Amino acid sequence: MQDIFLPEPWQAALPNLQTKISDVMAGLGESLMNPAKDLVLRAFKLAPSDVKVVIVGQDPYPNPDHACGLAFSVPKGVKKLPPTLINIRKELVSDLDLPISETGDLSVWGERGVMLLNRTLTTVPGESLAHISNGWETVTGEVISYLATKPVVFLLWGKRAGELSPLIPLEQQICGVHPSPLSAYRGFFGSKPFSAINTKLAELGESSIDWTI
């Protein structure tokens, strides 16, 4: 499979990461994948020096129309939103009482310093967690470890994201229930994660995030 390349700022910050990414992609061969190959590293368009918040997802949406390279986000124009994203939008309104558009495209958050990073960067179309044993966790774990040395706040939703907790100083992490319909009523709703992030940013001496979408 043709290689994909990290943007230069990430290659400078983590010189060995490109090799690890190339190894993962080689192991996947010519298999179909979600998201499309040119979107796999989309989260890394945000330079490491600009990252203020990392929201950690599990793996890409299995629906090819939804997977876009950013955790929890979907492409602009998607009308039927994934249930997990619907729940995130509900909590956003409940937490901050923001006016909210119909879009499920969260890419505007990236322009404000929010990295939407899945632990596993690809999957098979129509399947969840198809590539969890292919090495992506090593790649994203290295990214998390690096960013944890900076004044960055991490939002870890669910068990798999929570596995990253030991890599992150306690004052920089928020752990919570995953927004999936399977678990959202067990503590996600009412958790106010977005205001909690802004509180932690202030404690780190950083400006808050505008969560409007």
Catalytic residue numbers? 59
Residues 6+ apart with CB under 8 A from 209: 52, 53, 109, 112, 113, 114, 194, 197, 198, 201
Identity of the amino acid at 148: A
Distance separating alpha carbons of residues 62 and 66, to the nearest angstrom: 8
Distance separating alpha carbons of residues 129 and 62, to the nearest angstrom: 9
Helix (H) or strand (E) holding 174: strand 173-176
Residues 6+ apart with CB under 8 A from 47: 7, 9, 10
> CA distances (Å), 197 to each of 20, 86, 151, 153, 204, in order?
31, 20, 12, 7, 11
Token duo for residue 32: 């179909």
Q: Cβ distance 69 to 40 under 8 Å?
A: yes
Name the phi and psi angles at 115, rounded to 5.
-95, 120
